Amino acid sequence: MDPRLAIIAERLKSIKKIIAVAAGKGGVGKSTVATGLALVLSKMGYKVGLLDLDFYGPSTHVILGLSEEIQPTEERGIVPPKVHGIEFMSLVFYTRKNPAPLRGPDLTNALIELLAITRWGELDFLIVDMPPGMGDTTLDAIRLLKNPSFLVVTTPSRVAYETVSRLIALLSELSIPILGVIENMRRPSDRVRLSLGVRVIGELPFDEELEDALGDPERFLQTEFARRLREVASAFKES
Protein backbone atom coordinates (compact mmCIF):
# COMPACT_ATOMS: atom_id res chain seq x y z
CA MET A 1 0.00 0.00 0.00
CA ASP A 2 1.17 3.48 -0.80
CA PRO A 3 1.13 5.20 2.61
CA ARG A 4 1.22 8.70 1.16
CA LEU A 5 -2.27 8.88 -0.32
CA ALA A 6 -4.07 8.73 3.03
CA ILE A 7 -2.26 11.79 4.38
CA ILE A 8 -2.77 14.21 1.49
CA ALA A 9 -6.25 15.35 2.59
CA GLU A 10 -4.82 16.04 6.04
CA ARG A 11 -2.05 18.17 4.51
CA LEU A 12 -4.56 20.24 2.51
CA LYS A 13 -6.97 20.69 5.42
CA SER A 14 -5.70 24.15 6.35
CA ILE A 15 -6.47 25.57 2.88
CA LYS A 16 -9.82 27.26 2.23
CA LYS A 17 -9.72 27.40 -1.57
CA ILE A 18 -7.51 25.76 -4.19
CA ILE A 19 -7.34 27.41 -7.60
CA ALA A 20 -5.61 25.58 -10.45
CA VAL A 21 -4.52 27.93 -13.24
CA ALA A 22 -4.63 25.89 -16.43
CA ALA A 23 -5.11 26.10 -20.18
CA GLY A 24 -4.25 22.83 -21.84
CA LYS A 25 -2.42 25.11 -24.27
CA GLY A 26 1.20 26.11 -23.68
CA GLY A 27 2.62 29.60 -23.48
CA VAL A 28 -0.62 31.53 -22.95
CA GLY A 29 0.47 33.02 -19.63
CA LYS A 30 -0.60 30.47 -17.00
CA SER A 31 2.49 30.95 -14.84
CA THR A 32 2.36 34.74 -15.11
CA VAL A 33 -1.33 34.78 -14.20
CA ALA A 34 -0.86 32.26 -11.36
CA THR A 35 2.05 34.14 -9.81
CA GLY A 36 0.38 37.51 -10.38
CA LEU A 37 -2.80 36.28 -8.76
CA ALA A 38 -0.88 35.00 -5.74
CA LEU A 39 0.90 38.36 -5.37
CA VAL A 40 -2.28 40.40 -5.82
CA LEU A 41 -4.29 38.31 -3.34
CA SER A 42 -1.44 38.48 -0.83
CA LYS A 43 -1.31 42.28 -1.19
CA MET A 44 -5.07 42.35 -0.54
CA GLY A 45 -4.36 40.77 2.83
CA TYR A 46 -5.18 37.14 2.13
CA LYS A 47 -2.99 34.26 3.22
CA VAL A 48 -1.76 32.75 -0.02
CA GLY A 49 0.26 29.76 -1.16
CA LEU A 50 1.70 29.12 -4.61
CA LEU A 51 2.44 25.59 -5.83
CA ASP A 52 4.30 25.08 -9.10
CA LEU A 53 3.25 21.80 -10.69
CA ASP A 54 5.01 22.38 -14.01
CA PHE A 55 7.85 19.97 -13.30
CA TYR A 56 9.31 20.18 -16.83
CA GLY A 57 9.17 23.94 -17.12
CA PRO A 58 8.90 25.46 -13.65
CA SER A 59 8.60 29.24 -14.05
CA THR A 60 6.90 30.79 -11.03
CA HIS A 61 10.18 31.05 -9.09
CA VAL A 62 11.56 33.26 -11.89
CA ILE A 63 8.53 35.56 -11.82
CA LEU A 64 8.68 35.74 -8.02
CA GLY A 65 12.42 36.39 -8.07
CA LEU A 66 13.31 33.53 -5.73
CA SER A 67 16.90 33.81 -4.51
CA GLU A 68 18.96 30.65 -4.56
CA GLU A 69 19.65 30.40 -0.85
CA ILE A 70 15.95 30.20 0.02
CA GLN A 71 14.93 26.62 0.86
CA PRO A 72 12.00 24.96 2.60
CA THR A 73 12.60 24.13 6.26
CA GLU A 74 12.13 20.71 7.82
CA GLU A 75 9.58 20.53 10.59
CA ARG A 76 7.71 17.24 10.75
CA GLY A 77 7.66 17.50 6.95
CA ILE A 78 8.56 20.32 4.61
CA VAL A 79 7.46 23.84 5.46
CA PRO A 80 7.30 26.08 2.35
CA PRO A 81 9.36 29.25 2.68
CA LYS A 82 7.58 32.59 2.51
CA VAL A 83 8.57 34.49 -0.60
CA HIS A 84 7.20 38.03 -0.71
CA GLY A 85 4.54 36.96 1.77
CA ILE A 86 3.55 33.87 -0.24
CA GLU A 87 4.08 30.29 0.93
CA PHE A 88 5.93 28.88 -2.04
CA MET A 89 6.55 25.29 -3.14
CA SER A 90 8.24 24.05 -6.28
CA LEU A 91 10.36 21.12 -7.36
CA VAL A 92 13.14 23.62 -8.26
CA PHE A 93 14.17 23.57 -4.61
CA TYR A 94 15.42 20.05 -5.38
CA THR A 95 16.20 19.98 -9.11
CA ARG A 96 17.89 23.40 -8.97
CA LYS A 97 19.10 24.20 -12.50
CA ASN A 98 18.85 20.62 -13.78
CA PRO A 99 16.26 19.25 -16.20
CA ALA A 100 13.79 16.75 -14.73
CA PRO A 101 13.29 14.13 -17.45
CA LEU A 102 10.37 12.31 -15.83
CA ARG A 103 7.98 9.83 -17.39
CA GLY A 104 4.31 9.78 -16.41
CA PRO A 105 4.47 7.48 -13.36
CA ASP A 106 7.47 9.43 -12.04
CA LEU A 107 5.58 12.72 -12.47
CA THR A 108 2.72 11.26 -10.46
CA ASN A 109 5.04 9.91 -7.79
CA ALA A 110 6.86 13.22 -7.41
CA LEU A 111 3.54 15.06 -7.12
CA ILE A 112 2.20 12.63 -4.50
CA GLU A 113 5.44 12.94 -2.52
CA LEU A 114 5.28 16.74 -2.54
CA LEU A 115 1.64 16.77 -1.46
CA ALA A 116 2.30 14.22 1.29
CA ILE A 117 5.23 16.03 2.89
CA THR A 118 4.41 19.72 2.40
CA ARG A 119 2.91 21.36 5.47
CA TRP A 120 1.00 24.45 4.38
CA GLY A 121 -0.06 27.00 6.95
CA GLU A 122 -3.60 28.34 7.29
CA LEU A 123 -4.29 29.61 3.76
CA ASP A 124 -7.20 31.46 2.19
CA PHE A 125 -5.97 30.50 -1.28
CA LEU A 126 -3.57 27.99 -2.74
CA ILE A 127 -2.81 28.95 -6.34
CA VAL A 128 -1.55 26.05 -8.44
CA ASP A 129 0.40 26.69 -11.62
CA MET A 130 -0.46 23.85 -13.99
CA PRO A 131 1.69 22.59 -16.86
CA PRO A 132 0.37 22.68 -20.43
CA GLY A 133 -1.44 19.57 -21.61
CA MET A 134 -4.08 17.44 -19.93
CA GLY A 135 -2.10 14.36 -19.10
CA ASP A 136 -0.72 13.04 -15.86
CA THR A 137 -0.46 16.24 -13.83
CA THR A 138 -3.90 17.56 -14.80
CA LEU A 139 -5.53 14.23 -13.98
CA ASP A 140 -3.53 13.93 -10.74
CA ALA A 141 -4.45 17.47 -9.68
CA ILE A 142 -8.13 16.65 -10.22
CA ARG A 143 -7.72 13.36 -8.32
CA LEU A 144 -5.54 14.52 -5.43
CA LEU A 145 -6.25 18.18 -4.70
CA LYS A 146 -9.27 18.69 -2.55
CA ASN A 147 -12.05 20.20 -4.76
CA PRO A 148 -9.87 22.41 -6.91
CA SER A 149 -11.52 25.16 -8.94
CA PHE A 150 -10.01 25.86 -12.32
CA LEU A 151 -9.13 29.24 -13.71
CA VAL A 152 -8.68 28.82 -17.45
CA VAL A 153 -6.27 31.06 -19.35
CA THR A 154 -6.33 31.65 -23.09
CA THR A 155 -5.02 34.16 -25.61
CA PRO A 156 -7.27 35.79 -28.23
CA SER A 157 -6.37 33.33 -30.95
CA ARG A 158 -8.42 30.61 -32.57
CA VAL A 159 -5.43 28.30 -32.17
CA ALA A 160 -5.55 28.78 -28.39
CA TYR A 161 -9.35 28.37 -28.24
CA GLU A 162 -9.04 25.06 -30.06
CA THR A 163 -7.10 23.50 -27.18
CA VAL A 164 -8.55 25.51 -24.30
CA SER A 165 -12.07 24.43 -25.30
CA ARG A 166 -10.97 20.81 -25.01
CA LEU A 167 -9.80 21.44 -21.44
CA ILE A 168 -13.12 23.13 -20.65
CA ALA A 169 -14.98 20.15 -22.10
CA LEU A 170 -12.95 17.77 -19.93
CA LEU A 171 -13.51 19.79 -16.76
CA SER A 172 -17.22 20.11 -17.49
CA GLU A 173 -17.55 16.39 -18.10
CA LEU A 174 -15.91 15.73 -14.73
CA SER A 175 -18.08 18.42 -13.02
CA ILE A 176 -14.98 20.32 -11.89
CA PRO A 177 -15.89 23.92 -11.04
CA ILE A 178 -14.52 26.51 -13.46
CA LEU A 179 -14.09 29.95 -11.93
CA GLY A 180 -13.98 31.49 -15.36
CA VAL A 181 -11.78 32.25 -18.34
CA ILE A 182 -9.05 34.86 -18.37
CA GLU A 183 -8.15 36.14 -21.77
CA ASN A 184 -4.51 37.17 -21.74
CA MET A 185 -2.23 39.16 -24.04
CA ARG A 186 -4.94 41.00 -25.96
CA ARG A 187 -3.59 43.70 -28.23
CA PRO A 188 -5.64 46.54 -29.70
CA SER A 189 -5.34 44.95 -33.12
CA ASP A 190 -6.86 41.62 -31.97
CA ARG A 191 -10.23 41.01 -33.63
CA VAL A 192 -11.20 37.50 -32.52
CA ARG A 193 -13.75 37.24 -29.73
CA LEU A 194 -14.15 34.38 -27.32
CA SER A 195 -16.85 31.80 -27.69
CA LEU A 196 -15.85 29.19 -25.17
CA GLY A 197 -19.18 28.94 -23.37
CA VAL A 198 -17.65 29.91 -20.02
CA ARG A 199 -17.81 33.32 -18.35
CA VAL A 200 -14.87 35.59 -19.16
CA ILE A 201 -13.83 37.08 -15.84
CA GLY A 202 -10.89 39.10 -17.05
CA GLU A 203 -9.17 40.54 -20.08
CA LEU A 204 -5.49 41.22 -19.58
CA PRO A 205 -3.66 43.37 -22.12
CA PHE A 206 -0.40 42.49 -23.77
CA ASP A 207 1.90 44.45 -21.46
CA GLU A 208 5.28 45.64 -22.76
CA GLU A 209 6.39 46.40 -19.18
CA LEU A 210 6.01 42.83 -18.01
CA GLU A 211 9.32 41.36 -19.12
CA ASP A 212 11.35 43.90 -17.17
CA ALA A 213 9.20 43.37 -14.09
CA LEU A 214 9.83 39.60 -13.91
CA GLY A 215 11.63 38.71 -10.70
CA ASP A 216 10.70 42.02 -9.08
CA PRO A 217 7.28 41.62 -7.43
CA GLU A 218 7.00 45.27 -6.37
CA ARG A 219 7.50 46.40 -9.94
CA PHE A 220 5.30 43.60 -11.26
CA LEU A 221 2.47 44.82 -9.02
CA GLN A 222 2.74 48.29 -10.63
CA THR A 223 2.10 46.99 -14.16
CA GLU A 224 -1.16 47.37 -16.02
CA PHE A 225 -1.28 43.55 -16.15
CA ALA A 226 -1.28 43.37 -12.33
CA ARG A 227 -3.79 46.20 -12.00
CA ARG A 228 -6.25 44.33 -14.24
CA LEU A 229 -5.55 41.08 -12.43
CA ARG A 230 -6.45 42.79 -9.15
CA GLU A 231 -9.91 43.55 -10.58
CA VAL A 232 -10.31 39.88 -11.43
CA ALA A 233 -9.24 38.86 -7.94
CA SER A 234 -11.67 41.29 -6.28
CA ALA A 235 -14.49 39.84 -8.32
CA PHE A 236 -13.98 36.19 -7.45
CA LYS A 237 -12.78 36.41 -3.87
CA GLU A 238 -16.32 36.19 -2.52
CA SER A 239 -17.22 33.12 -4.55
Partner 1 sequence: MHEWALAEAVIATAKRAAREKKLRRITEITVKLGELQQIERTVFEFALEQILAQEDALVRHAKVVLETERARFRCRACHHEWAFETEHFAPEIAEAIHFVPEIAHAYVRCPSCRSPDFEVIAGRGVWLASLKGEE
Ligand X SMILES: Nc1ncnc2c1ncn2[C@@H]1O[C@H](COP(=O)(O)OP(=O)(O)OP(=O)(O)O)[C@@H](O)[C@H]1O
Contact set with Mg ion (CB under 5 A): 30-31, 54, 59
CA 186 to chain centre: 20
Three-state SS for 177?
coil
Nearest to 104 by CA among 135, 62, 75: 135
Rounded CA-CA distance 233/38 in Å is 9
- The kind and range of the H/E element at 94 are helix 92-95
- Beta partners for 43? none
Q: Minimum distance from CB of 179 to partner 1 (Å)?
A: 29
- The 110-149 contact track toward ligand X, x by CB under 6 A, reads ----------------------x-----------------
Binder of ligand X out of 29, 49, 156, 202 (CB under 6 A): 29
Number of Cβ within a 10 Å radius of residue 203: 16
Question: What does residue 49 show for φ and ψ, rounded to 5 degrees?
Answer: -120, 155
Could you tell which of Mg ion, ligand X, partner 1, none binds residue 1, using a CB distance below 5 to 8 A set by kind? partner 1
123, 47 contact by CB (below 8 A): yes
Nearest to 140 by CA among 173, 174, 111: 111
- Residue 30 binds ligand X, judged by CB under 6 A: yes
Q: Minimum distance from CB of 75 to ligand X (Å)?
A: 31
- Residue 27 binds ligand X, judged by CB under 6 A: yes
Binding residues for ligand X, total number by CB under 6 A? 20
- Residue 210 binds ligand X, judged by CB under 6 A: yes
- Residue 204 binds ligand X, judged by CB under 6 A: yes
Could you tell which of ligand X, Mg ion, partner 1, none binds residue 204, using a CB distance below 5 to 8 A set by kind? ligand X
The stretch near ligand X (CB under 6 A) out of 19-27, 38-46, 67-75, 88-96 is 19-27
